[in-house]
Structures are given as C-alpha cells and as structure tokens.
A and B are shown apart, each in its own frame.
Chain A
Amino acid sequence: MTTSVSAIVIIVLALTALGYILGRQRALAVSDREKTKLHSLPGYYGQTVALYVAVPAFLLLGVWLFVQPIAIESQISSDIPQSIVDQSGAKSLVMADVRRIANGLDLLVGSGGFTETDLANMRADFSNVRSRLASVGVALGSDVQPAVFEAAKSYRNIGKAGSLIRNIAVLVTALALGAWSWFRITPRMRARNTSETFIKSLLMGSSLIAILTTLGIIGSLLFESIHFFRIYPARDFFFSATWNPQFRGGSDLGILPLLWGTLYVSFVALALAVPLGLMIAIYLAEYAGSSLRSFAKPAIEMLAGIPTIVYGLFALITVGPFIRDWIAQPTGLGSSSSSVMTAGLVMGIMLIPFISSLSDDIINAVPQSMRDGSYGLGATQSETIRKVIMPAALPGIVGAFLLAASRAIGETMIVVMGAGASARLSVNPFEAMTTVTVKIVSQLTGDTEFASPETLVAFALGLTLFVFTLGLNIIALYIVRKYREQYE
C-alpha cells in the first residue's frame, strides 16, 4: 500500500513539473513568441497549470487515504457474524485479528511461492493458516476461524480495489484539471491573477491547520470520553478516591488521587520556581552588571532548552536517590526514591527559566519614570522594587505564574520518571504519588484495546487535563493582555 502511495505522489509531482513546462510553452505559442502580447509573464501560465495539476490531486489523495480505512472497516465489521463477536468478547478484537491476518497474507504473497490464485482458493478450515502466517513472522493467538479468514480476505480485496480506484481517481483529477487549465490558456487570460488567487487560498488553508488541530484534539478527546462515560459512571470517575484499574474489569477509576498528586507536585514545583525565578529576573534586570548578565542570562535560558526527558533522568538517577538517602530515610518519612518531592523539585528547576524570562519582560516593561519617581523620594533600590515595580508588574507576574502552573500540570516525563505510579491521597511529600499524565501514559502504552474502560479512561483524563490547562492559559493570556494595555 505504501509503495503505491509513494509511486502516485512521484507521478503527480512529475506531472506538475510537466504541466509547468507545457503551460509556459503554450502561453508562448499562443502569443507567437511575443511576450508583450500576454497578460502575464509566461511563467505564470505554467504556474497556473501546475497548481491545477498538483493541488486538487494531492487533496483528493489525502482525503482518500484518511477515509478509505474507515469505510473499509465499517464495511467489514458489519459483515462479521455476531456469533464470532460474542465469542471473542468485542468487535474491535475481531477486527484487530482481521487486520493482522490481512497484513500477514500480504507478507505471504510478497515473500513469493504463494500466488493470488492460491490465496483465493485457500480456506481456513482446510489449510493451516496459522502456521503459514507464522512462517512470515505474523503470530496469531489462536487458530483462524473461517469467517474471520474470509473477512480478512475481503478486507484485503476491498483494500486493493480501493487503492486501485484511488490511484486512478487521483491521476484522472490531475490530468483532467491540468488539461482543462492548459486549454484555457489564451493571451488575454489573467494567469497571474488566477495563480495568485489560488496561492492566496492555499495560504489561508494552511492557517486553518491550527483550527483543525484544535478541533481534532477536542473531537478525539470528547468522542472517546463520551464513549467512556457510557460504560463507566461519571460520578464515580470524578468523585471516587480510589484508582485501581483491573485487567479483568471491575476497576475503580477515580480521578481524585491523580488530581491530588498532580496538584501537589505542581505546588512543590511552583513553590520553588516562582520565588527563585522572580528573584533571578529582578536581580538580572535591576542589579547585575553587564558582565554577570551576559553570562548568567544565557545560562539560565539554557535550562529552558533542555528536553524534559533529561530532567526526568536527573530526577531518576540523582535527585531521587539523594532525597531518599539524605532526607526521607533518616527522618523516616519515606523509603522510595520517586516521590512528590523529587518530581516537584526537578520540575521546579525546569520552570525557573520559564518564570524568570516572562518576569524579566514584565519588569522591563515598567516605565523608567516610575523608578525615578521612587528614587527621587529617597527609596532604596529594594524598596522601589518591592513597593513600586512589583505592584505595577503584578498582573503580568500572575499571568506568568498561571502559565507556569499550566505547564507544571501538563508535564509528563519528569513525573513519569520521578513521581512514581501509586495512586494515593497523602500529605507526605516523600511518598510516591502519581499524576494525571502518568496514568494517561500507563493506560495507553502497551497493547491498547479500545473497548475497555481501562483504556478509554485515558481520554477522560486527557480531557480533564486539556480543560484545566486551557482554562489556565486563557486566564493568563487575558491578564497579560489587559496589563499590557495600561502602559502601551
């Protein structure tokens, strides 16, 4: 399947280049090689043809690639007899088998010694499908039932037919629109305007990707969350204090311990990062000499460029054992190296540059006249900072604080590697606790089985996280924006 897609992409690209050349030549031909008779430069005629060849064809290809699997899936899954679905528990399990078998058959044919006609005659109840598929590296859990095997075969056939129709449709679109725009070329045709309008709509289309992404996020989160709340009561999810997923069903999936862990870790992180980040910003903006500033500012900003996995490893191999051996164990407060404290402190370090660079901008935005006024009245520098600059910068700093809080809540790798995995409601910061993001990762990695509440809960958790962070961001941006209006 991938081969034919890349082939069609290359063909369309070649046609595009050809379209450009032919369009340009026709423009020159219809104007008897006198460029002045043309409305636009000859290149624009080529460009118009090329755009008509490439853009609709690629759009069609993209949409088709997206829709075809959905269409085939629903077609096949409606063909599967109910008895088999009951046997294996869920329709999605059967479909996974169908896909795996179809994939294995592809490999079988690809490895040679097995033709399409052999395959058409092959029947699951006579030939040993399982061992044959195992020979090409596709392992199946159980023997293949005839109906599933037939479904896999028709899955393959429909897929193949679909790909063929797709390739033809794409080529026809490219050629037809290319030819149409080519025949349209006359000396009076406004080729530049046409191609510019075309390009402008492409530019606008690209800016819509942002909206599509947001819609995609909200759509996928909402859709699967609704699915989840249909099989698991929403009240238990939001108000239960136990988190205990079970493989065989009957899980307790209460979000409260996870929310508590999330907020606790974020609180520790912010308690470290906000004072430090703020003091760093103040010192570098108001006190530091240019030599210290030119060295310290990039150094602090370097912390912001370090990926979170590095902080996670730092928590895992250095900070965690240190806190356990020097603080938690001597005081008898805890015995595990992953704890709220570990994750919180490391996350705090990660947030320092975030707070300090935001606060730096805000402090610099306070007009110099306010400082001068304060000095003129005899205030010391620190008094000016605390009593004049801070109140003036407060809304901005609150905004920075909220943005940092939203990052702390959404942070994943540091808590996965530093906070632990046990869901627990406790006030002891040296105990391992877990967060919303950790549980999203642990419920969605590994073998994902979409029908079970244990997997779907990750989407409800994701939705909660998204709503939380989005709310914080909107409030923060509102505050920052409102504050800016005061001085500009």
Chain B
Amino acid sequence: MKFRGLAAGVSALLVVAGLAACGGGDDSGSEGDVTLTYWASNQGASLDNDKEILTPELEKFTQQTGIKINLEVVPWSDLTNRTLSAAVSGQGPDVLNIGNTNAVTFQATGGFYPFDDAALAKIGGKDHFVDSAFATAGAPGKPPTSIPIYSQVYALYYNKKMFSDAGLQPPQTWEDLVSDAQKLTDPAKKKWGVVIPGATVNASMHFSFIFGQQNGGDAFDASGKPTFTTPGMVAGVKQYVDLMSRYHVVNPSAAQYSDSAQAAGDFARGDAAMYFAQTSGINVLKQNGMDPEQYGIVPIPAPSGGNDIGSFVAGTNISIFKNTKHLDAALQFVKFMTSDAEQATLNKAYTSLPAVKGVSASFTDDQQKLDTFTDILANRAKPLPLVAGVQAFQANVGGAVVSLIAKAATGAQVSEADVRNALDQAQQKMPA
C-alpha cells in the first residue's frame, strides 16, 4: 500500500514535470532575445571535438546578429531516431543537421521547412552551391528541405610505411587490393590488411552501394522499386564480405565495431594497413595521433573490368524544423553556415569538401590528397538513389551486411547463395 502511494506520488510528479517541460519551449517569443536550438551531427573525431570547432563560429554568429545558439552535438547513431521523434512530436530543435542519405526520407515526412525560391534566394540561391551537393537536398522537382553544408567522398587510406616495408604499391584494382592485403596480414602479430567497421549499419550500406555499383548493380530501378538481388548487387556485397570470409584479411573482431571511429583507431595504431574512409577521416586520424604524412589516399579500386566507382556523394545537410517559432532567425543561421567564410573555416576544420562554389577545398596542404578527393567527387562518385525508401534501404541492406560479416567472423563461410538470401530478405522487408 505504501509502495502504491509512493508510485502514485512519483508518477504524479513525472506527469507534472512532463507537462511543465512541454510548456517550457513556448515562452521565448519576445523579440531581441532569440535563442535557436541547433542539433549538430558528429562530424569530428568526438562530440567534444565538434563542440570545440563549432563554438567559436557560433559566437561569431551571435555577435553579428544577436541571435543566440543553443548547440547540441548528436552522435549519428541517435540522430535519425531523435529527428524522427522530433518530427512526430513537433517538439524539436529549430535547426538541425541530417545525413544527406536521409534527405528524401525526411522530406517525405513533411516535418521540415521546404526552401521555396524566395527562401533559397535569401541564402544565396541555388547557384551558390556545388551542383552535385545540391542534388542531395531532396527529391527532384520538389522544394528542397535540406541544404548541403559538408560534402564528402570515400577513399582508400593506406599506411605508407607498411606498404613500403613490404615493397608494395597502392592498389589500382580490387584484385591488387586483395593480394596486397593478404601479404600484409599476419594474425600472429595482430597485423591485418584491411579494417572495416563491421557492425556499423550505415557504413555497411555505403559499401554495398559502392561495390554494387562497381559490379553494375543498382539498388533501385527507375521506378524506385528495390532491386537488391540483381547479380551486380549480390556480387558487390560478396566482394565486401569476402574480405572477411574468404580472404581473412580483416581482424574478425572488427565484426563488432559499431562505430567507424573504432576502425580508425586500428588504422591509426598501425594494426591495419588499409581503411575505407570518407574525407573527414583526415581529421579523425589526426585526433587519433596519425599525421597525414603517414598515409596515402587513392580511390577505392574496382575489380578489373568493373565500373570505376569509388564513392557516393556523401555529406551533411542542414534543415530547418517546420515547427520553429523563429523562421527568420533560422534562415539567417542557415545563410551564415553556408556563407563562403564559414564554409571555408568549417570544412577545413572537419576536413570535408565545401558545398559552395566560391570556396575550394583546403583541409590539407597535401595537394595530392586534395586532388584525389576532388577527382573522386568529380569522376568516380554516384549519388545515392533519391527515393523515399533510402532510409529503409540503409536499415535493411546495412543490417543484412552486418549479419553476414558477423557470420563470417564467427567462422562460417559466406556463399553467394547466403548473400542473395540475406539481400532477398532485406528486400522483402522494404515498405511496399
């Protein structure tokens, strides 16, 4: 009985607190003292690294406009769910970052403010942005609901010392990559040819897309229907999983890496000779104590005879929440974040590619690395399909690849039939 009384008391308190929290956001409408809540994605090596980079820039914005920014850095693993909950409840930040892979999915929810021509004009117009980056802003033919701020591509990072010690050249084809990896793998010394973030769902989807493309497979057909079981997609996923299951050039422990940063750690410590990472890897590796001189960068190679695709157009976009009470302030903030000056500063700090035409990439003094990334973005990157099912594609195909990697790590051989079967199940789970 006593316990019940206590429970009732506690739940009453919770309800009151909940109601108070709901009411809390509404009383900041007075002019002159606007505070925007901004959810930034985790672009840096850690959440603290992001805060260090962003805080001085946000202070600049406050000085210029008098608008305060309440910054919260959200890890990628939480960002999608939190954004979704915010869209459902209508209680969310004013401005937030999203992965550009999710742009069309979130656009379909109607939770974000659509940038019509007038709004676009306020932030500098469509022509202010790099075309390939702006193409990820939303579905074609609709007002975009997100604006690109950081662009990225994948590349193959290789450890220069390990390669020269073994007398190897950076790989030109996938076959080279596999044979180099085999020569560099020595499980007894805990040295491995390649490291992959084996349990990371979104990265696994990225690789299945890239390697699928190399083998001529498309994840969706022209009408937007999933085609995960086409021979090209199956071959692409198999190509990735084989690193672990057939060639044994990946440390089986990597099947538990649920965060890309764990893979970066292995590469930075010299436990793995090769590592697939996006442009921001330069910053992440620096935070892990590895200088850019210690590694080289080449496009992720394709199997000989395959399509020379090494990446998709990755990146981060910024969106305004539809329910914001400070639309003008939010637009000013988006304009600030996409201004030439901020694009130069932030993309340098995050070692990503600027999303605006007026600024060129400057994140490293190493011209060869800059040229490689620029070449990949211009010539070897394909955009992800701009369909609303892309979030489900990421969850289901990424999840399927994670289980295949786990299966390979625990000692089972993964056959082509296993891959097709896993992809077939993923496809059947796709919303009709």
Instruction: Answer whether A and B are interacting partners.
Output: no
Interface residues of A (CB under 8 A from B): none
Interface residues of B (CB under 8 A from A): none
